[in-house]
Structure 1
Amino acid sequence: MVGSAAEQAKTVAGEARQQAESAVRDLRRRVRDEGRGQTERLAGTVRQWADDLEGMAQSASGDSPARSAVVQVANRGRRAADYLEQHGVDGLMGDLQGFARRRPGAFLGGAVLAGLVAGRLMKAGKAAHSGESEARQVPDTAEPAPPVGEPVRTEMQEYPRVV
């Protein structure tokens, strides 16, 4: 009886382990597929921005330094989109880790700079959002209540006395 219970416990534990491993494999596959889809969308967005920038540069008249800079940004955007399509997020993360190992100071400096920029953008977005919500609120036209202990002052109209 004790041996039978132990065998059943081992069987149940083995089945639970197999189900957990299967669930983990399924979750990894889903995350990888979702990451691939997100990477493809990001690459498409970057490519669209690059195309839009190039269209702006082509419609500009003359050959100015600003036009040249926009063309360069558009070309780099296309290269970034190509890189994302070819290597995906895994390749990007691997390259980022390699850069961090080779040049830790530059990596940390870039991370700090990116953090500061992200913080400023979030702060600006939050301020813009709170400004919009305040503008939508109906202004309160009622007089505020006087502080506790202060006499209440009311304005009374003077009427002429009739004698």
Structure 2
Amino acid sequence: MSDAGRAQQAGQAAKEQASATASRAAQSAGDVAGTAAEQARAVAGEARQQAGNAARDLRQRVLDEGHGQAQRLAGTVRQWADDFAGMAQNAPGESPARTLVTQAADGGHRAADYLDKNGVDGLLGDLQKFARRRPGAFLGGAVLAGLAVGRLAKAGKAVRSGDSGRPATSGGDDALPPAGQAPPELPGYPGV
């Protein structure tokens, strides 16, 4: 065989070998890609499962905490209702104030029983139903409740800061005499 023929055979052999090597490399790359995709699916599935477990755990903790809060609130409301009932029993005679206190005590007992029976979930469900049926009344009630909470918070802050709730005077605090001292007399009004 001539040198040209041998070179041609060597070139052909090299070409076949390169083709086989490329084929094996492509197959190996495909296997690696398939394994990587399979691993990615497994990791994503595990992550979804763990996220679902975490969400269920968090939801259960929130429900448990809400149930505990509802029980404490029911106990507090029941105590207030018992206090009102005691006040009504000790009140002399029949008066509008006694009637109102008795009604407040009865309403407090009903509210405490409702919280014991239905918990926070029942309360929220009933509020949602009411809001759907009567949105105007719900919004009005929410505004009134917000105002009441704001006033209570303001009153609580004033009590904590030592403000006695006195109305402001135009003369400021210097117009008031120190504690234990009589106020100055007004001209033309002795003793006032």
TM-score range, shorter chain: 0.7 to 0.9
Separation of aligned partners in 2, 1:122 and 1:78: 25
SS at the partner of 1:63? Answer: coil
- Listed as ranges, the matches of 1:9-158 within 5 Å are 9-131=40-162
Q: Deviations over 1:57-84 (max 9, x none)?
A: 1122222211111111000100011111
Q: Secondary structure at the match of 2:93?
A: coil
Per-residue deviation, residues 118-149 of structure 1 (Å, max 9, x unmatched): 222223333443447xxxxxxxxxxxxxxxxx
Aligned-partner residue type, residue 124 of structure 2? M
Unaligned runs of at least 5 residues, structure 2: 1-31, 164-192
Percent sequence identity over aligned pairs: 73
Quote the Cα distance in structure 1 between the aligned partners of 2:103 and 2:111. Answer: 12
Cα distance in 1, alignment partners of residues 141 and 152 from structure 2: 16
Helix, strand or coil at the partner of 2:109 = helix
**Structure ranking higher on relative contact order (CA contacts 8 Å, 6+ apart):** 1
Task: Provide the alpha-carbon RMSD of the alignment.
Answer: 1.5
Which deviates further from its counterpart, 117-126 or 52-61? Answer: 117-126
Instruction: State how far apart, in whole Å, the 2-side matches of 1:129 and 1:117 are.
Output: 18
Structure 1: runs of 5+ lacking an equivalent:
133-163
When the two structures are superposed, what TM-score results if normalisation uses the length of structure 1?
Answer: 0.75
Max radius of gyration: which structure? Answer: 2
Q: Which letter maps to 1:8?
A: Q
Aligned length: 132
